[in-house]
Homo-oligomer: A and B are copies of this chain.
Amino acid sequence: MKKYLMTPGPTPIPPEVLLKMAEPIIHHRTPQFMAILKEANEGLKYVFQTKNDVITFASSGTGAMEASVINVLSAGDKCIVVRGGKFGERFAEIAQAYGITPINIDVQWGTAPDPEIIKATLKKNPDVKAVYTTLCETSTGTTYDIESIGKIVKDTPAILVVDAISGLGADQLMTDEWAVDIVVAGSQKGLMLPPGLSFCSVSQKAMGLAEKSKAPKFYFSFKAAKKALDKTDTPWTPAITLIIGLTQAIKLMREEGLDNIFKRHHKLAEATRQGVKAIALELYSKRPSDAITAIKVPAGVDGEKLVKSMRDTHGVTIAGGQEELKGKIFRIAHMGFMEKFDVVAALTATEIGLAEQGYKFEYGKSQGAAEKVLLD
């Protein structure tokens, strides 16, 4: 059966990237690989929209999240953590594992935090050293107003850390212009690669904290990475094939251009949103991301069965809800190597899956509404 991958990571990988990674491997301590690493490091700055160094780790995104905590804080420090979903909560768990106190700003799942609450919390806790938040909270399909948060944090001694693992390259994120000190990202989302690489862009302000941090670390050390980066090297063996794939993926992104990439994602997301609304489905998020659309499972439909049938009977893999949202939402990703026909395929599979469970609607209505957006 032909397979369609519509999950928020991994996302589909362009064939030219897959084939590039299938070429015979080369050694990493060679001028040949050094040239590739240089291209990758420069390309990351383009995608992250930053002049800061972008550090690459061989790890999943969680590794870079941990790095963004343990390199800038020490046991006994305080940080603010915005928790509006599964991934926001992870920052608080990491902080606690290192004896750092998270001041949690709990946001109703599916909504974005009010920047004013962050401002007030910072004012009340002037000793906070870092604010952790999320660009796109994948578990709820919600994008946060990072620009406004950046304006608030910029004028305090604290740094702003944004988990952009599932948003980078889909939702707009202007690292330098919005004053984001650390952007955390992963390879298997907007970057169109397999999982296995993670990234931290690090501002001067964040590097200043890194000089003072006493949390123990080794593999995820910013200082070790930075020392190697300055010589276009890596402190440990890099994930060679993934870095080769990265240069290829960024080449494709440069060809399309970042602005066009964001426009495409916005159009695909809007088409998906209008599509599902046209068959009387409701969006879960009050501030939906352009990377992923979370949709409420309608009454009378078994959400887990829907995801399973779409995947196992029809070959279309989407994501269900996680933790407290299990069975209550389903999530269609339109991020990375995606085009308009992929969105229509996802909507068609959704209609078929819903029809199987007796949900009533006019066939073709979602695709029609989507097409109207896509034609624009």
Contacts and interface: CB of A to CB of B under 8 A. Distances in A.
Contacts of A237: 9-10, 60-62, 186, 188, 195
Contact of A28 (B10, B215, B216): B10
Given A27-B317, A240-B194, A317-B30, A219 B22 contact: no
A238 interface: yes
A24 B5 contact: yes
Interface of A: 3, 5, 7, 9-10, 12-13, 18-19, 21-31, 57-63, 66, 70, 75, 93-94, 97-99, 186, 188, 194-196, 215-220, 235-242, 311-312, 317, 319
Give the most central of A196, A219, A220: most B CB within 10 Å.
A219
A216 B216 contact: yes
A62 B30 contact: no
17 contacts: A5-B27, A7-B27, A10-B27, A10-B28, A18-B24, A25-B194, A58-B195, A59-B59, A60-B237, A61-B237, A62-B218, A97-B218, A188-B240, A194-B241, A215-B216, A216-B216, A239-B239
Given A59-B219, A195-B237, 19 more contacts: A12-B25, A26-B317, A30-B311, A58-B58, A58-B59, A58-B196, A60-B239, A66-B218, A93-B218, A98-B216, A98-B218, A188-B240, A194-B242, A195-B238, A195-B239, A196-B239, A196-B241, A215-B216, A239-B239
Given A60-B239, A237-B61, A22 B24 contact: no
A26 B9 contact: no
A194 B26 contact: no
Contact of A22 (B22, B25, B186, B242): B22
A239 B194 contact: yes
The A interface is mostly helix, strand or loop, or mixed, namely loop
A31 B304 CA distance: 14
Contacts of A23: 18
A196 B23 CA distance: 16
A190 to B, nearest CB: 15
Contact of A5 (B25, B60, B70, B217): B25
A62 B5 CA distance: 33
A318 B312 CA distance: 47
Nearest to A197: B196
A352 B105 CA distance: 67
Nearest to A18: B22
A196 B198 CA distance: 12
